[in-house]
Amino acid sequence: MAYQFQSLRLGEESELTATGQGETAWIPVEMRFLDEETGIHVMVHASVVVDRSSGRDMDILHEEAAAKAEDLLRAATQHLEENDVETLRWQAQGI
């Protein structure tokens, strides 16, 4: 199955969820892909933690979130490639 990247959406400031003492926050990330075989759009939803220290505006937070989302997607891809379908099914079912 071949997927073509379509778009990346990063959460706005109102969508941030503060953690700890407010110096970090979860930011939602949505990556949209096109399944070239079926023509159906599929999405990957994730949340990544960003540093909200003083002086960091949303552009900086978005930059950090995009880099972390890319790392997360790369790690997920590697995990899927290294495990057979049966093992992944068992993990998903909590077996």
Q: For residue 29, how many other CB atoms are within 10 A of its CB?
A: 22
The residues near 88 (Cβ < 8 Å, ≥ 6 apart) are 80
- The total domain count for the chain is 1
Return d(Cα 66, Cα 46) in angstroms, integer. Answer: 11
Question: What domain range is 66 assigned to?
Answer: 3-93
Q: How far is CA 70 from CA 16, 37, 76, in A?
A: 19, 24, 10
Q: Output the pTM of the full model.
A: 0.76
CB–CB of 49/17 below 8 Å? no
**What per-residue confidence (pLDDT) applies to 59?**
94
Q: Which element (helix H / strand E) includes 54?
A: none
| pLDDT tens across the length of the chain (95 residues) | 688 889 999 999 999 999 988 889 999 999 999 988 899 999 989 999 999 888 789 999 999 999 999 998 888 888 777 877 787 778 778 76
Distance (Å, rounded) from C-alpha 22 to C-alpha 57? 14
- Return the pLDDT at 68: 93
